[in-house]
Amino acid sequence: MKDLNDLARIGYVIANYDYLEYDGLTTSSYLDENGNPSPMVKMSKRIDRTYYVIEAVNSSKQKKNYIVSAYIRKSEKKNSHLIPDKCDCPQDTSET
């Protein structure tokens, strides 16, 4: 992340995420109280681009979570929700 403002948005993403995913992935960099790898969750928030924060969820006893990674993806095109021109659906023509 080149811009310091992007780093500042990490806390905002964590507090106000749009989506929260758990894919069953763990990280051995952070261990829970039993010595097992901590599970990781991915939070995402769409602001002007989509911000992702990967966080290792530690035990509730320590009351700490750790950010493993953070990255940004460009948003989809503004008209991505529209039906593409080349589809098999009926189209209006000048003959109808």
d(CA 15, CA 69): 16
Residue 84 placed within a domain: no
Q: How confident is the model at residue 11 (pLDDT cuts 50, 70, 90)?
A: confident
Count of CB atoms within 10 A of residue 46's CB?
14
Residue 86 placed within a domain: no
pTM above threshold 0.85: no
Q: Which domain holds residue 57?
A: 4-73
Residue 35 placed within a domain: yes
Residue 24 placed within a domain: yes
Strand residue runs (E) in 15-64: 19-21, 26-31, 37-46, 50-57
pLDDT value at 88 more than 60:
no
63 alpha carbon, distance to own chain's centre = 23
Number of domains in the chain: 1
- Give the per-residue pLDDT at 81: 44
